[in-house]
Amino acid sequence: MAESSAPQSQKLLRPAVLMLILSAAVAAIGWRLGLNSRQVLSITIFAMLVLGTLFFWSFRLAIAFLGLAALLICNVLTIPKFVESSSLEVILFLVGMMVVVGALRDLGFFTWIIQLIITLPGLTGRRFVIITALTSALLACAVDEVTSILFMMVLIFQVCDTLKLDPKPYLIISVIATNIGSSGTMLGNPVGIFIGTKAGLSFEDFMVWAFPIMLVCLTATVGVALLYYRRQIATFQERLQERRKRELGLGPSVKVAYGRGIAVLVGTVGLVAIHRRLEQLLVLPLNTVLLMAPLISAGLIMIWRRDRARHYVEDEVDWWTLLFFLVLFSVAGTLGYTQVTDRMAAGCTAHFGRSVAILTPALVVITAVTSAFIDNVVCVAAFVPVIKSLAASGLHAMPLWWALLFGACYGGNITMIGSTANIVALGMLEKRYHGHIRFLDWLKMGLLVGVITCAISAGCVMLLSRWMPQTR
């Protein structure tokens, strides 16, 4: 054991030193820019958190804990401020959705979806790509990107194993579509619900402004994928036809009582969809019903299926990730308390001016490039206080919130480590086939789609900005 741990320690040493050097550089730049000691400490710890997710993915929670403790011990952050900025409502929203997803799996909802696709009459290679992309995106909209990719990968593996095809092109298409779809609603991505709650956006706002843009980007992506993978799709078609000649399908199909699953999903999403109207009716603060909707569904499910309740909470909820989010939101919130974000906002307007036409594409590009390499939630957590500061200065902020959302979601497509969905899918590929996708192979398609979707979304947001209302 001693022999094997020594090289591992050496492997960790280099990025650890690099992380410390870069964090120290951030601190030095802070000093030179005239930030006070509390501001320097908050940006340094935030930088360590960002670099920690980049260099030490598996240690990110440990780094977050230590960073939070340092902020509290140095009195940069206080306990009440920590509780306030940890966005517990967002964390609880995600817990509720994860319980709902666990129940949907048990109830056969996802089995039903997969069976629907593999037994679809008239399925062709092109149709499979279109349906895979559309289902990935819509599932991401309805539940979340990670759940969507978990189930879509099983579909892709089932089909590709049956047809003896390389699953990688379909994996890439599905992951990219999932990331794009995750920008369509507040449910699609932790980024969406975080931006929504911080910007005061409702589910309806997402449906009016984000969902249509997402659909345009998805259509463009499907077009690119059909062209880019035309050879692989042709092989898919040949194998499928050959199998059809022998009257063979793509897998077994059983009778699934899917009604209860659909009722749970429609009930949850429906409650989320009408949250604004219910809040107005009940005179509740904005997004109260939105944030409680998954908890209401989860609570009812846990009473209905009480023998599975503990399983849903203990096994279906990704507590590791949620705890990281909780600490990350607090550390990012510190940037706001220490007024670092005001300085950053001032710097932003000094460089790009106060024109939304310039700030929007700039924000899309910056967030896309950043989230191509680091967790998009980390990226968004950094920019949210900056945009809040810009909004507080009287700037028309709604286009900037959408720019942040699209940049963060679509930038995740550029590299294979750009989003959680990518990492989950690659992990599944590695586990099942002991294979991997080369960084450059992903980058070719990822960059192409990333550039196109970022350009479309930035263009659409700028075009529509004049009709967008002021955020609340």
Partner 1 sequence: MNSHNPVKVSSLFSPKEVVCGLKDCSFTDCIRILIKRLAKSGAIPNADAALQAVLKREAMGSTIIAPGLAVPHARLERLQRSSLAVATSADGIQPSTAEGKQVHLVIVVLTDIATPGEYLEVLSSVTRAFSEQQVIAKVAQLPTPEQVWEFFDKGIGSLPAFITAADMMATDFVTLRCTDRIAKVIDCFNRYKVTEVPVLDDDGDLVGVVAEQDILKLGLPEHILWLEDMRPLLRFEPFGEILKKEQQIYLAEIMSDRFVSVQERTPAIQVARELVRRDIKQVFVVRGKKLVGIITLSNLLGRILRG
Q: Which stretch binds partner 1 (CB under 8 A): 109-117, 221-229, 284-292, 438-446?
A: 109-117
Q: Does 237 bind partner 1 (CB under 8 A)?
A: no
Nearest alpha carbon to residue 192 among 312, 97, 55, 67: 97
Confirm if 89 and 197 have CB atoms less than 8 A apart.
yes
CB nearer to partner 1: pick between 55 and 157: 157
Q: Which stretch binds partner 1 (CB under 8 A): 153-161, 185-193, 354-362, 373-381?
A: 153-161
Rounded distance, CA 265 to CA 301, Å? Answer: 11
HSE of 155 in the Cβ direction (CA atoms, 13 Å)?
28
Q: Does 106 bind partner 1 (CB under 8 A)?
A: yes
Q: Where are the alpha helices (DSSP H) in 246-318?
A: 259-273, 275-282, 288-304, 306-311
CB nearer to partner 1: pick between 18 and 263: 263
3-class secondary structure for 154-217? Answer: HHHHHHHHHHCCCCHHHHHHHHHHHHHHCCCCCCCCHHHHHHHHHHCCCHHHHHHHHHHHHHHH
Confirm if 162 and 250 have CB atoms less than 8 A apart.
yes
CB nearer to partner 1: pick between 353 and 435: 435
Number of H helices, E strands in the chain: 24, 0
Taking CB under 8 A as the criterion, the residue among 56, 72, 158, 423 binding partner 1 is: 158
Applying the rule CB under 8 A, the residues between 164 and 193 that interact with partner 1 are 164
Shortest Å distance, C-beta 252 to partner 1: 4
Taking CB under 8 A as the criterion, the residue among 131, 215, 256, 451 binding partner 1 is: 256
CB nearer to partner 1: pick between 47 and 155: 155
Confirm if 133 and 177 have CB atoms less than 8 A apart.
yes
Q: Does 436 bind partner 1 (CB under 8 A)?
A: no
CB nearer to partner 1: pick between 243 and 354: 243
CB nearer to partner 1: pick between 270 and 435: 435
CB nearer to partner 1: pick between 246 and 306: 246
Applying the rule CB under 8 A, the residues between 115 and 134 that interact with partner 1 are 115
Rounded distance, CA 49 to CA 139, Å? Answer: 30
Shortest Å distance, C-beta 259 to partner 1: 12
Rounded distance, CA 274 to CA 297, Å? Answer: 14
Shortest Å distance, C-beta 134 to partner 1: 18
- Measure the CA dihedral 466/467/470/471, to 10°: -120
Q: Does 107 bind partner 1 (CB under 8 A)?
A: yes
Confirm if 240 and 163 have CB atoms less than 8 A apart.
yes
Rounded distance, CA 44 to CA 5, Å? Answer: 30
Rounded distance, CA 15 to CA 204, Å? Answer: 44
Binding string to partner 1 for residues 299 to 318, with x set by CB under 8 A, is what? ---------x----------
How many beta carbons lie within 10 A of that of residue 122, not counting itself?
Answer: 5
Taking CB under 8 A as the criterion, the residue among 248, 262, 263, 266 binding partner 1 is: 248
Q: Does 431 bind partner 1 (CB under 8 A)?
A: no
φ/ψ (deg, to 5) at 462: -65, -40
CB nearer to partner 1: pick between 308 and 354: 308
CB nearer to partner 1: pick between 140 and 155: 155
Q: Which stretch binds partner 1 (CB under 8 A): 206-214, 253-261, 268-276, 441-449?
A: 253-261
Q: Which stretch binds partner 1 (CB under 8 A): 1-9, 49-57, 247-255, 272-280?
A: 247-255
Taking CB under 8 A as the criterion, the residue among 99, 155, 265, 405 binding partner 1 is: 155
Confirm if 63 and 49 have CB atoms less than 8 A apart.
yes
Residue type, 134: L
Q: Which stretch binds partner 1 (CB under 8 A): 6-14, 91-99, 100-108, 290-298?
A: 100-108
- Run of H or E including 377: helix 376-392
Q: Which stretch binds partner 1 (CB under 8 A): 9-17, 158-166, 186-194, 294-302?
A: 158-166
Q: Which stretch binds partner 1 (CB under 8 A): 20-28, 243-251, 339-347, 356-364?
A: 243-251
CB nearer to partner 1: pick between 158 and 288: 158
Shortest Å distance, C-beta 180 to partner 1: 24
Q: Which stretch binds partner 1 (CB under 8 A): 60-68, 227-235, 252-260, 287-295?
A: 252-260
Rounded distance, CA 214 to CA 472, Å? Answer: 23
User: Does residue 320 sit in helix, strand or coil?
Assistant: helix
Whole-angstrom distance between the N-terminal and C-terminal Cα of the chain?
A: 58
Contact set with partner 1 (CB under 8 A): 105-108, 110-111, 114-115, 151, 154-155, 157-158, 162, 164, 246-249, 251-257, 308, 434
